[in-house]
Amino acid sequence: MTNTEKTPGIKNENLHKVIQIRNLTESTYVLKFTRNNMQFRAGEHIIAGLKGEMDQREYSIYSGEDDDYLEILIKEVKDGNISSKLKQCKEGDLLDVNGPFGSFGIEKFDMRSKKHIFISTGTGISPFHSMVRSYPDLNYTLIHGVRFSKEAYENEEYDQNRYILCTSKEKVRGRSGRVTGFLTKFRVTGDMLFYLCGNGNMIYEVFHILNEKGIMADKIITEVYF
């Protein structure tokens, strides 16, 4: 069957063709595929899997709102089903992609008036990559927690004065530690909004630290991956 013929049970516009896989570490990769005119707001996610398979997972969109392709940043989870299968994709393979979904993102009226503090662990940096790429004038600080510096995925794409890497298992320029350690010393101001993305434990801990600093829930926006 050619790609233009109809696939039973799947809308044809949901079939996206793989363009490239970009390996960033042994386990983490960027999957790039056709956009098929999907409109989305930076921060939203899709639900994706291989064509013809029922099992699918959520992935934040990594590419920018104006890119003519879609990208997602995926970490292959040990014994994970979909993250391993997607890593084996080849150029031309078809993905079944649904979405976009979610409400994680920057409200238009906050765009210029607020300082946006992005706090992420691992691939939780993905929606922030999309936001930074989509809104070049954004006033942001991006705090990224990883174990080793090699997991600072494509960090050259961020303004280095706005990017803070926290490595928990390696010293970088004499410093190491988790995002939570960094945040306990971070000076907060009333014009800041906090966006948290990554694993649930980090989000729970950071929420607590921010509360202790007087930041209430209405200034904290979260996206929990697992």
Ligand X SMILES: Cc1cc2nc3c(=O)[nH]c(=O)nc-3n(C[C@H](O)[C@H](O)[C@H](O)COP(=O)(O)OP(=O)(O)OC[C@H]3O[C@@H](n4cnc5c(N)ncnc54)[C@H](O)[C@@H]3O)c2cc1C
Q: Is 57 in the site for ligand X (CB under 6 A)?
A: yes
Candidate list 19, 58, 87, 111; residue touching ligand X; CB under 6 A: 58
Task: Quickly count: other Cβ atoms within 10 Å of residue 72's Cβ.
Answer: 25
Minimum distance from CB of 213 to ligand X (Å)?
Answer: 26
Among 212, 202, 214, CA closest to 222: 202
C-alpha Rg value of the chain to the nearest Å: 18
> Near ligand X by CB under 6 A, which window of 72-80, 173-181, 187-195, 206-214?
72-80
Among 14, 26, 43, CA closest to 147: 26
Minimum distance from CB of 121 to ligand X (Å)?
Answer: 9
Torsion of CA 111, 117, 122, 126, to 10 degrees: 10
For residues 66 and 111, give the distance between their C-alpha atoms in angstroms, rounded to a whole number: 17
For residues 154 and 148, give the distance between their C-alpha atoms in angstroms, rounded to a whole number: 14
Closer by beta carbon to ligand X, 21 or else 161 = 21
Q: Is 119 in the site for ligand X (CB under 6 A)?
A: no
Closer by beta carbon to ligand X, 58 or else 141 = 58
Closer by beta carbon to ligand X, 73 or else 210 = 73
Candidate list 16, 32, 41, 45; residue touching ligand X; CB under 6 A: 45
Q: Is 146 helix (H, G, I), strand (E, B) or coil?
A: strand
Q: Which residues bind ligand X (CB under 6 A)?
A: 45, 57-60, 72-75, 77, 80-84, 122-123, 126, 223, 225-226
